[in-house]
Structure formats: C-alpha cells, structure tokens
Amino acid sequence: AKAMAQLSHPNVVQVYEVGEVEGQTFVAMELVQGQTLSQWRRREPPPSWRACVELYLQAGAGLAAAHERGLVH
C-alpha cells in the first residue's frame, strides 16, 4: 500500500496514506463514485462489445502502470 501511494495514474485509485491505529492497519484511498465493473457489465441494456473493450483497455493501462512500478496484485 505504501508503494501504491507513490503511483499516480488516471486508471488507478489513488492511495493517500497507510498507517496503524490501535493495532489496526488502515489505507486511506480516493473515493470513487459509481459501480463496479461487474455491475456495469450486467446493466440493461448491456454495454456494447466496443464499450467493453474500451473499459478493459483502461483497466489494463492501470495494471500496466502498477507493474511498471514493480507493484503486483
């Protein structure tokens, strides 16, 4: 999580801080409004295959940025 705080990319949720309070670890992250990818895919009417490809390309770009920084998930 500390390494994630060093990563800034439009397709990666920003991590602001990692710490510990009363023996519990916390991660303070950007709040992203909306729905999960799974929810988006199940909407009615369903998204087109082109919309799916575009969204998955964006997710892949975020993963690639994390991998370039040596982060694994």
pLDDT tens-place string over residues 7-51: 889 999 988 888 999 999 998 999 999 999 899 999 999 999 999
Q: What is the pLDDT of residue 45?
A: 95
Alpha-helix residue ranges (DSSP H) falling in the chain: 37-41, 49-68
pLDDT value at position 48? 96
Residue 20's Cβ-side half-sphere holds a number of Cα atoms within 13 Å equal to 3
22-54 exposure pattern, b = at least 16 Cβ within 10 A, e = fewer? eeeeeeeeeeeeeeeeeeeeeeeeeeeeeeeee
With bands split at pLDDT 50, 70 and 90, how would you rate the model's confidence at 72? Answer: confident
Q: Scanning the structure block, which residue is given the tokens 């990319």?
A: 9
What pLDDT is stored for residue 44 in this prediction?
Answer: 93
- Is 52:41 a contact under the CB 8 Å cutoff? yes
Q: Which is more confidently placed, 29 or 4?
A: 29
